[in-house]
Amino acid sequence: MNKVFLTELSIAGEPIVGKLDPMGLNNRTVESWILAMDCPNLPIWNVIKEDTTYDMIAYVVIPKGIEQSKYLVSEHPDLMQNLKSKFSKVYVIQEGEIGYYSHRSVTEQVWWYSQLYYCDRLYVHNEYDTKYFKGLFPDLDIRVIRTMMSTSALDENKFLPKEERAIICGPMTFDYLGFHQAIIAQELGCPIDIPPMGRDRMPKDSYDMAAASGVNYLEYNIWTDWMYNLSKYKYAYMMSLGTAAGSFALNCGYLGIPCIGNIHQNTQRLCFPDLSVEAHDLKKAKELAKNLRNNEEFYVNCSEKAKMLYEKHFSESSYIEQWKRIKQSI
């Protein structure tokens, strides 16, 4: 049966309709899934307003921006029923960490729960996540599908020489634990940078307090530029509480940047088995950082192993094989 993705994707504000460009410079996580599945994309905003029906399976990535969520709750409280009346099957793919909607109003949390309750299947990124969602939806068909990224647009000649710098996965919020990560990263004795992840949840004084916190905030870049800039870092941290697609550890694995992080995140655990700890085990994280800094053999081993394990578990061919196995099991 034919399949299609329903997402909020756009280029320069214009919704993407049809096939994506594999050489696109901003092919982040969702774009990579669509490319690997060789599916067209339809703007979810258009689909929910039209009366067209499709003899297709719809893979839905529910928009989660603050204003987008408010709009959907207000104008489309029956989003999932709407989509199920138009497609043969409606499968939701997790995008964002588990419990993401806990940051929102109770009205939005109820809306989010209702959408997943009525979908035909849910795809999650981590074995750890299945326990969470099975508790909420015991009768729902839940499958684990590891994430991937499309590297076609990357030019390895643009990767940068390594610098004595560390980067942590996100800002100083509860879910990213950026403040705690910045403190333990000081063990390395080098500059510490933070990318603009979760910008809508950053404390308002983040930039004002950057120097006092011992960190530097990076500017937002298109994905290819992000990867070229990331390639210069010698160390990385992903000690965040939430588990999601794990693109930060995935990017680090591809580039061979040793990343200390949450063991319940598939990308972290599989690419960095020697650097994965419980998210609250800051003591162990500091010990690992010290070992990376002082033991060159350990550092090189973690770096080379990460690149090998990335190819094994998260390459495009591996991702496609996962879908084949899921299809066969069904």
As given in the structure block, the two tokens for residue 249 are 């550890």
Instruction: Say what percent of the chain tops pLDDT 90.
Output: 57
As given in the structure block, the two tokens for residue 251 are 């990017």
Residue 226 confidence (pLDDT) above 80: yes
For the residues 47-61, what does the mean pLDDT come to? 93
Q: Residue 21 in contact with residue 9, Cβ under 8 Å? A: no
Q: Which domains does the chain show, CATH number per domain? A: 2-148+315-329 (3.40.50), 156-314 (3.40.50.2000)
Contacts of 156 (CB under 8 A, 6+ apart): none
Residue type, 319: Y
Which of 56-60, 85-89, 91-95 is predicted least confidently? 91-95
Residue 94 confidence (pLDDT) above 90: no
Q: Residue 267 in contact with residue 247, Cβ under 8 Å? A: yes
Cα 87–chain centre separation: 26
| pLDDT value, residue 304 | 98
As given in the structure block, the two tokens for residue 172 are 């100083």
| pLDDT value, residue 37 | 80
| pLDDT value, residue 126 | 85
For the residues 172-194, what does the mean pLDDT come to? 89
pLDDT digits over 120-172, tens only? Answer: 999 998 888 899 999 999 999 999 888 888 888 899 999 999 999 999 998 88
Confidence of residue 316 (pLDDT cuts 50, 70, 90): confident
- Looking at the whole model, is its pTM more than 0.95? no
Q: What is the secondary structure of 56-90 as a DSSP string? A: EEEEE-----HHHHHHHHHH-TTHHHHHHTTSSEE
| pLDDT value, residue 64 | 86
Cα 95–chain centre separation: 7
Which of 244-248, 249-253, 292-296 is predicted least confidently? 244-248
136/208 Cα distance (integer angstroms): 40
Confidence of residue 9 (pLDDT cuts 50, 70, 90): confident
For the residues 208-224, what does the mean pLDDT come to? 86
166/215 Cα distance (integer angstroms): 10
| pLDDT value, residue 300 | 98
Residue 26 confidence (pLDDT) above 80: no
14/17 Cα distance (integer angstroms): 9
| pLDDT value, residue 15 | 64
Can you name the residues that pair with 122 across neighbouring β-strands?
Answer: 92, 142
As given in the structure block, the two tokens for residue 136 are 């909420």
Contacts of 286 (CB under 8 A, 6+ apart): 184, 187
Residue 189 confidence (pLDDT) above 70: yes
Can you name the residues that pair with 56 across neighbouring β-strands?
Answer: 2
For the chain, the average pLDDT equals 88
Contacts of 173 (CB under 8 A, 6+ apart): 198, 201, 202, 203
- Of residues 282 and 23, the one with the higher pLDDT is 282
189/212 Cα distance (integer angstroms): 16
Confidence of residue 99 (pLDDT cuts 50, 70, 90): confident
